[in-house]
Amino acid sequence: MTERPRDRVIVFGVDGVRYDTLLAARTPAIDTIAAEGFLAPVRVDDVAQPISGPGWTTVATGVPADRHLVYGNDLTGHRIHEHPDFLTRARTLLPGARTYAAGAWPQLVHETHGGPIFLGGGFLPGQAEDWNVLDGAVAEHACEALGGGDVAAAFVYFGLPDTIAHAEGPTPNYTAAVTTSDERIGRVLAAIRARPGFADERWTVIVTTDHGHGEDGRHDGDSDAERTAWIAATGPHVPRRAPSGLRQVDVHAHVLRALGITPRPEWALPGRPFTR
């Protein structure tokens, strides 16, 4: 009988959260992660527009858009199979490892628009117009799956802030949506801490966004507000100070490090774990 693997990772993706709004919003869950580890801004790679398709594909695969070839929100023609997402790498390389993905942006987990970005698919909540309802369903499903199951690596996505900013710009409602997303992150983390085996597990927690937002409900330009994303992380190998030169591709590299997976030279991953 082999020992149950102790190393676990969860990555939360919150869509379209400006760094300045994150700092202004009430976010106790992310504040705790930042206090135990770090929170730092990252510049979205200039090879693609700062939009969701390339952004989340870069976070998932650990390579920039000129390698995964996702430049828009229709992913058709991508090379994700050559640069698989970190959940697929975990399932492929860790014997018996289970993974979990959930999110209401269909391209992440569902066969649509050339997706999914996470090749193993995942939980997509049912039809609803209201992103608050959709994200609530994702949080509930994630609490159940991660509170009880034996998942080694997970990605959980919340989309409400981006949809609010598209509708009305970076208003107080947008800031409130960031707080709502933080509450959902806090609920999922509380479910993980209540796991029967939690005391024997070593969890790494990463929270990140795909891009910022302009003043006008758009985020396809080159302003700092649009091009600035951020990463917050805590875990056994996460330093207390943000590594210099942090990039979105580092998320994938660090997930592998946290799971004890050594990248192969032929993957040519440009990202570096946060431990540097």
Nearest distance, CB of residue 265 and Zn ion, angstroms: 32
Nearest distance, CB of residue 154 and Zn ion, angstroms: 19
Contacting range for Zn ion; rule: CB under 5 A; set: 57-65, 68-76, 159-167, 177-185:
159-167
Between 210 and 229, how does the x/- string for binding to Zn ion read (CB under 5 A)? Answer: x-------------------
> CA-CA distance, 72 to 115, in Å (whole number)?
12
> CA-CA distance, 189 to 146, in Å (whole number)?
9
For Zn ion (CB under 5 A), the number of binding residues is: 5
Residue closer to Zn ion by CB (options 80, 259) is 80
Closest residue to Zn ion in the complex (CB): 52
Nearest distance, CB of residue 131 and Zn ion, angstroms: 12
Residue closer to Zn ion by CB (options 27, 52) is 52
Q: How many helices (H) and strands (E) does the chain have?
A: 11, 6
Nearest distance, CB of residue 70 and Zn ion, angstroms: 12
Restricted to residues 34-53, the positions that interact with Zn ion (CB under 5 A) are 52
Restricted to residues 183-212, the positions that interact with Zn ion (CB under 5 A) are 210
Contacting range for Zn ion; rule: CB under 5 A; set: 84-92, 128-136, 146-154, 162-170:
162-170
Q: Which own/partner pairs from 69-75 qualify as long-range (CB within 8 Å, at least 24 positions apart)? A: 70/117, 73/107, 73/113, 74/113, 74/114, 75/107, 75/113, 75/114, 75/115, 75/117
Nearest distance, CB of residue 163 and Zn ion, angstroms: 10
Tokens of 132: 């608050």
For residue 261, which phi and psi values (nearest 5 degrees)? -95, 125
Tokens of 191: 């479910």
Residue closer to Zn ion by CB (options 52, 181) is 52
> CA-CA distance, 195 to 64, in Å (whole number)?
35
Residue closer to Zn ion by CB (options 130, 144) is 130
Would you call the peptide bond into 116 cis, given omega within 30 degrees of 0 as the criterion?
yes
> CA-CA distance, 240 to 36, in Å (whole number)?
7
Using alpha carbons only, give the angle 19, 215, 11 rounded to the nearest 5 degrees. 30
250 part of the interface to Zn ion, by CB under 5 A: no
Restricted to residues 7-36, the positions that interact with Zn ion (CB under 5 A) are 15-16
> CA-CA distance, 203 to 230, in Å (whole number)?
20
Nearest distance, CB of residue 207 and Zn ion, angstroms: 15
Tokens of 254: 């660090």
Residue closer to Zn ion by CB (options 96, 221) is 221
Token pair 């006008």 in the structure block, residue: 216
Restricted to residues 43-102, the positions that interact with Zn ion (CB under 5 A) are 52
Residue closer to Zn ion by CB (options 7, 15) is 15
Interface residues with Zn ion (CB under 5 A) are 15-16, 52, 162, 210
